[in-house]
A and B are shown apart, each in its own frame.
Chain A
Amino acid sequence: MKKVAFVSGKGGVGKTSILASTLMFLKQDFRTICVDADVDTPNLHLLLGKEEELLRYDFSAYEKPVIDYDKCTGCGKCSENCNFNAIEWSDGKPVVNNFLCEGCKVCSLVCEEDAISFVKKKTGEVIESLTNKGVKLFHAELIMGETGSGKLVSELKKRAEEDGDDCELMIIDVAAGIGCPVISACRDVDYAVLIVEPTKASFNDMKRAWNLLKHFKAKAGIVVNKFDLNPDFIEIIEEFAEDEGIKVITKIPYDEEFINSLNKLEIVMYNSDKLKEIFKKISNEVRKNL
């Protein structure tokens, strides 16, 4: 199964919208499965539409400590040794702050009273849905306040690969930023579509995302969205692309149809013949690189 990620670094540049439109072409050529790796704030299921939920199960990224207060002597060793300041004090007894706990288990290693045990903590739910577009989507709901988003992304990709074993292509919607959910999403991709707006901020973030992808030896192509809002910037992007050996696949003009379609939760490709040609071009470039 080949893996293609839609990445940007900067949020709000159009990853999910562009992915959905390009997917409509890619699925004509490949048996395709989708993964929404933006597990904090997943949006792809809204745009592709949930026809039927096929599978849902609890996911645990780690185990959390449980303190046996009958055994605890309040010696303080657990709190002193916690690197994450996750053990607080209340009435002379240690209390675990679940928002800060990373699940390292150091507290139990230093406890001389054997007062700390562990339980699997549910950190999210893995969902497999059949979308209205005839493509299966693996997405997740992260339990509010929980950590382990990177592990949840890895689980989604693993399940998509196992359950979609007749699929040839996995399309991944990656979160903003370059932190652990992005790293997990990009780890073993074959090709990345790098989406950038013609602004210094977006360009800077895209470069950071590209540096991450280089680390994983992925190939990439650039799509410049809303390019005509600052056409002078294109030269800077093209120069960068040439220096890095990346192709600028295409430039998408600012088009109100994007917002109109998004507000109706429709895929913009169906509402604009002009944009349709652009997404076909992106799809062709992806296909060429697989």
Chain B
Amino acid sequence: MNTNQTKATAKLIKEIFDELMSLGTSQKKISTAPDSSAESYFTPPVHGDSTYFYSCSFQNQNELEQVFKQIFNNGYEHIPAAITTKLAKLAFLLKENNTEQDTELSPFIYTLY
């Protein structure tokens, strides 16, 4: 693992977090306590077509940023463009760092012997 890249991603994560904190609390999306006056806690689906499926392919940061903007800003407070730009950059950096699984596939995939 490239230590410089790890430090870079950690720094960027902190930067993004601090920028989010400067937005103040987002009241709309998350409630934390019961409401005795409410008749029901059900809501209609709030994420539109994403409730069902979303199809995309992002080959570069710009395309990923567009995906973030579309999904993050669906009906709620906007996440500023500066943050989504950094998030897209961060995602591509993290992709290079992280290996999820690198074991070789066994030719006998259910290892009979």
The judgment on whether A and B are partners is no
Chain A residues engaging chain B, CB cutoff 8 angstroms: none
